[in-house]
């Protein structure tokens, strides 16, 4: 039986020993591996960046000046399979402090050997080149241990006899001297050049003034011609604008008149429709009822007239009948009296009609 082991990207897992008895090793970075109980051996080696501070004290340079140099280096175990195997052989089972101590001693040894081949001026004036040289010389040796130098720089350089301070003062004095000489030469050259520049400036100023006067005169002429042309164009444009404005105004007036005509036609049409509607409404609400009322009155008048005529005719017929009756009655009375008179003779006095 066995178990599954995982490892992060900051360390490598080395598994040795298999169930078949082989002595092969498996290297795992940021992954997992299977290990057999009581058979496989598992160990880990760090892949994190290690910071070292190599320091060489009182190392004599090529000139015999003892100086102390302090550097800063960033190193780490390389992850290529072959180089990781080499680093495992060298450092497997060791702590980070032990690995750093081995690499530090290697760097300090190379740093010390390189210091003996250089002058103080070379070390002091070009630290980057010095650090690059140390890195190039030490890289193969630490590489054979499976270690990679990521960076190396010189942190500090000093000596106990103030040689560097004196060198700095000497260089400062030399620099100051060269600066003073340079300033004097520059001032001299500046004076000569200033006189030449003044002469050139006067010549240039004369030419510039001449050209400026010519240019100003030409500019005035061009400005006058331009103004004349502008005024002419402006007058033409103003006239054209006024003519166009008059045309547009006339066109607008004609369109307004046409609109008014159209509106008047529409108003007339509406008025005609309103008149027709009003006429129809009057016919429906006034004329026809009035005609009906007049017809009614006419019929009533005619009926009344007929009634009066009939009544008059009836009254006349009545009077006629009464007259005829009275006439008949008188005639009958007359006939009776006449008959009585004839019968009674002259003794009977005839009273006459109505007595």
Q: What pLDDT was estimated at residue 250?
A: 84
Residue 23 pLDDT > 70, yes or no?
Answer: no
Q: What is the pLDDT of residue 353?
A: 52
Average pLDDT score over the chain: 77
Q: State the pLDDT confidence band at 51, using cuts at 50, 70 and 90.
A: very high
Chain mean position to CA 212: 51
Mean pLDDT for 131-139 is 86
CB neighbour class for 48 (10 Å; exposed up to 12, middle 13-18, buried from 19): exposed
In the chain, the DSSP E strands lie at 2-6, 11-16, 25-29, 32-36, 41-46, 50-52, 55-60, 66-77, 147-158
pLDDT for residue 204:
84
Among the residue ranges 38-42, 213-217, 308-312, 328-332, the one predicted with the least confidence is 38-42
- Cβ–Cβ < 8 Å for 2, 17: no
Residue 170 has pLDDT above 60, yes or no: no
* CATH class, 48-161 region: alpha beta
Residue 329's pLDDT band, with cuts at 50, 70 and 90, is confident
pLDDT at 120 (0 to 100): 78
DSSP codes of every residue in 166-226: HHHHHHHHHHHHHHHHHHHHHHHHHHHHHHHHHHHHHHHHHHHHHHHHHHHHHHHHHHHHH
- Amino acid 34: pLDDT: 43
CB 27 within 8 A of CB 13: yes
Q: How far is CA 186 from the centre of its chain?
A: 58
| Cα 128 from Cα 153, distance rounded (Å) | 7
Name the more confident of 351 and 140: 140
Give the CA-trace dihedral at 290, 294, 296, 300, to 10 degrees.
Answer: 150
- At 115-134, the pLDDT tens digits run 888 887 777 777 788 888 88
Band the pLDDT of 355: cuts 50, 70, 90.
Answer: very low
Query: Considering only CA atoms, which of 11, 8, 91 is closest in space to residue 44?
Result: 11
- Would you say residue 159 has pLDDT above 70? yes
Among residues 50, 48, 45, which one has the least CA distance to residue 89? Answer: 45
Instruction: Give 53's contacts (C-beta < 8 A, 6+ positions apart).
Output: 70, 71, 72, 73, 104, 155
Q: What's the rounded mean pLDDT across residues 172-176?
A: 54
User: Please, which pLDDT band fits residue 53 given cuts at 50, 70 and 90?
Assistant: very high
HSE of 264, CA atoms in CB hemisphere, 13 A: 6
Most confident of 45-49, 89-93, 152-156, 347-351: 152-156
Closest CA to 149 of 163, 165, 133, 171: 133
Pick the most confident of 245-254, 287-296, 318-327. Answer: 245-254
Q: Which of 33-37, 242-246, 300-304 has the lowest mean pLDDT?
A: 33-37
* Annotated domain spans of the chain: 1-46, 48-161
Does the pLDDT at position 100 exceed 50? Answer: yes
pLDDT score of 1 more than 80 = no
Q: Give the closest residue to 50 by CA, choosing from 147, 153, 155.
A: 147
* Model confidence pLDDT, tens digit, residues 205-226: 888 888 888 888 888 888 888 8
Q: Is the pLDDT of residue 70 over 70?
A: yes
Q: For residues 20 and 263, what is the distance between their CA atoms, to the nearest angstrom?
A: 114
What's the whole-number mean pLDDT along residues 183-210?
80
C-alpha–C-alpha distance, residues 212 and 210, integer Å: 5
Distance (Å, rounded) from C-alpha 54 to C-alpha 111? Answer: 8
């Amino acid at each position: 039986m066995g178990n599954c082991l995982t490892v992060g990207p900051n360390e490598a897992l080395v598994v040795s020993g298999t169930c078949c008895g082989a002595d092969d090793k498996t290297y795992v970075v940021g992954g997992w591996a299977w290990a057999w109980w009581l058979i496989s051996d598992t160990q880990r080696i760090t892949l994190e960046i290690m910071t070292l501070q190599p320091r060489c004290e009182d190392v004599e340079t090529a000139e015999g000046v003892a100086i102390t140099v302090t550097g800063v280096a960033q190193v780490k175990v390389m992850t290529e399979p072959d180089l990781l195997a080499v680093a495992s052989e060298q450092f497997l089972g060791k702590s980070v402090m032990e690995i750093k101590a081995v690499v530090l001693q290697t760097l300090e040894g190379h740093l010390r050997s390189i210091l003996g081949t250089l002058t103080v001026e070379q070390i002091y004036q070009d630290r980057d080149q010095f650090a690059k040289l140390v890195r190039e010389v030490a890289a193969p040796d630490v590489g054979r241990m499976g270690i990679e130098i990521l960076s190396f720089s010189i942190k500090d350089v000093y000596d106990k006899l103030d040689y560097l301070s004196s060198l700095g003062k000497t260089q400062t004095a030399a620099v100051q001297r060269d600066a003073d000489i340079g300033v004097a030469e520059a001032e001299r050259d500046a004076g000569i050049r200033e006189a030449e520049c003044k002469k050139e400036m006067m010549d240039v100023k004369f030419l510039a003034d001449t050209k400026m006067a010519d240019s100003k005169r030409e500019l005035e002429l061009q400005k006058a011609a331009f103004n004349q042309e502008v005024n002419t164009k402006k007058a033409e444009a103003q006239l054209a604008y006024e003519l166009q404005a008059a045309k547009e105004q006339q066109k607008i007036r004609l369109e307004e008149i046409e609109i008014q005509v159209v509106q008047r036609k529409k108003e007339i049409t509406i008025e005609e429709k309103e008149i027709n509607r009003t006429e129809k409404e009057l016919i429906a609400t006034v004329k026809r009822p009035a005609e009906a009322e007049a017809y009614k009155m006419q019929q009533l008048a005619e009926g009344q007239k007929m009634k009066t005529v009939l009544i008059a005719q009836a009254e006349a017929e009545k009077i006629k009948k009464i007259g005829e009756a009275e006439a008949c009655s008188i005639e009958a009375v007359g006939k009776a009296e006449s008959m009585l008179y004839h019968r009674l003779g002259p003794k009977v006095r005839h009273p006459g009609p109505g007595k």
